[in-house]
Amino acid sequence: MKLTLKVWRQASANKKGSFSTYQLDDVSEHMSFLEMLDVLNEQLIAKKEMPISFDHDCREGICGACSMVINGQPHGPMGGTTTCQLHMRHFKNGDTIVIEPFRAKAFPVVRDLVVDRSAFDRIIQVGGFVSVNTGQAQDANAIPVEKDVASQAFDAATCIGCGACVAACPNASAMLFTSAKVSHLGILPQGKVESTRRVQAMVKQMDEEGFGNCSNVTACEAECPKGISVENIARMNRAYIGSVLGSETSVS
């Protein structure tokens, strides 16, 4: 399979970037997208050219590091799939593939396809935890949790923090990510103790990082590789309004 790749190249955050065009021949349909980029980088290195920088770690759809926009879609054309899980069989011979980094003010480009997503880390640091002392590991049934509650918390906890929601949103909003973290902690009994402080702190930090506002486009849910529901955003909004007004509303 022959492909034309248009890849965003940017030496650093302070340098002006542009697209560079590369030709690849004999691309196997069994390659993953990142393996295809590995082949391209091997060719660039052989030519004494600078390889393309891109993030990756587990290559199993778990870590969320492989964040890039492929033909205008975060993580590419396959739903429920991270870039590392995308295979070349989903493209055709002769295709032109445009590859660029996630675009958001809060995700500045570090180099080429690599962006700084430490804004997510700072949101987690202000409230994405439960500070209740647990002591020794407890038995599984020590704190009874209803099945529906546990399922809601687990669904929210599947967020891998990749940032596709931000890249997909026309406002570069981080509401889906933040609400998933607020939900998966606040729904469970252990997290309700500090749910009011948590939601206020995380929303405040999210705003300070420069993310945009949610306008209910729901592109975030459509592009999320883990299918995080926008119901979490509604849940977080209810909890935030309740905490500001001083009511007993909590994440539920």
Reading the chain (252 residues) residue by residue, the pLDDT tens digits are: 999 999 999 999 999 999 999 999 999 999 999 999 999 999 999 999 999 999 999 999 999 999 999 999 999 999 999 999 999 999 999 999 999 999 999 999 999 999 999 999 999 999 988 887 666 766 767 778 899 999 999 999 999 999 999 999 999 999 999 999 999 999 988 888 899 999 999 999 999 999 999 999 999 999 999 999 999 999 999 999 999 988 655 566
Q: Which of 111, 135, 162 is the last residue of a domain?
A: 111
Q: What is the pTM of this model?
A: 0.91
| Count of structural domains within the chain | 2
Q: How far apart are CA 163 and CA 176, in angstroms?
A: 9
Residue 80's contacts (CB-CB under 8 Å, 6 or more residues apart) are 225, 226, 227
| 232 and 128 within one domain | yes
CA dihedral 224, 229, 234, 235 (to 10 degrees): -110
- CATH number of the domain bearing residue 201: 1.10.1060.10
Q: Which two tokens stand for residue 188?
A: 């469970």
> Has residue 211 been placed in a domain?
yes
Q: Which two tokens stand for residue 240?
A: 């935030």
> Has residue 99 been placed in a domain?
yes
| 33 and 123 within one domain | no
Which domain, by its residues, includes 221?
A: 117-245
